[in-house]
Amino acid sequence: MKVAIYGLKASQKQKEYFQSFFRELTNRNISFTIDRDFKSILESQLSLELTESGVFSSYTDLQKDIDLFFTFGGDGTILSAATIIQDKNIPIVGVNTGRLGFLATINVEFLFESLDAIFSGDYKLSSRSLLSIHSDEIEIDLPFALNEVALTRRETTSMITIEAHLDGEFLNAYWADGLIISTPTGSSGYSLSCGGPIIHPENKSFVVTAIAPHNLNVRPFVISDDSVLDLKVKSRVGEFFLSMDARNKPLSSTVHLQIKKASFQIHIVEPKDKTYLITLREKMFWGSDRRN
């Protein structure tokens, strides 16, 4: 078995966890490769010796024979890892080193008691849809998003107008601070904070949510994930921001965008005793009101 290891940061208090984890991999005769930048962090900040590991830094040099992709961090780390894994179908083991996340559900303190099940394949796989973004006018780097795509105003207090067509038919002209197109995975994030619904990850749908719309009759709209959205932006400054998860790109208002379901999915490893509803209740504090 071969695993990949990825993270964005590490603290000194986590040194013992990482030492034990790499020792566990060695004892199990599991080979591993580490993201180049993360390896540098572990060696320089935690003084770990990782001379026997391989390295990767992008989609291109990530080997296809990787069995599992371990991320250490939170949900943001998994979003970043998705840009490296893309269509290679490598399951992600999200180890949470901070607050409870919707994706990184394996707490680092319980990692070692979960390793037997993980390495024996005794887990569930949650397959998550992504959004793809296309434009005839420009080429967009990493044109996909696991959580959401957002179009927002740039360097102005004035709202923008986003003309939306759904499967070739006019949907609406959104006069707002922006527009969010969210996957079920991202429905519990930015879209939720703007009044959008929470969508179970197994649902085959996306949600379109306006950001601070001027018209109060504009409400979030759930669409089939087979739909195609064509978007055109009008802005007083002639520009707007395109956000794909945490990646931001300024674009001219002359750029038209088409958004639809991506041709690949990201697969998340989930312990069999950890369901989405359990995570949702814990994250949202549902059922904690003892008056009921």
Give the tokens for residue 10.
């590490």
DSSP 3-state of 60 = coil
Residues 255-288: b if buried by 16+ CB within 10 A, e if exposed: bbbebbbbebbbbbbbbeebebeebeeeeeeeee
167: annotated active-site residue = no
Residue of 190, 189, 185, 192 whose CA lies nearest to 206: 185
Given the residues 75, 177, 230, 245, the one annotated as active site? 75
CB atoms inside a 10 Å sphere around CB 149: 26
Residue type at 144 in one-letter notation: F
The answer to whether 219 and 232 are in contact (CB under 8 A) is no
Provide DSSP, 121-157.
T-SEEEEEEEEEEE-SSS--SS-EESSEEEEEE-S-S
Beta bridge partners, 122, equal none
Residues annotated catalytic, as ranges: 75
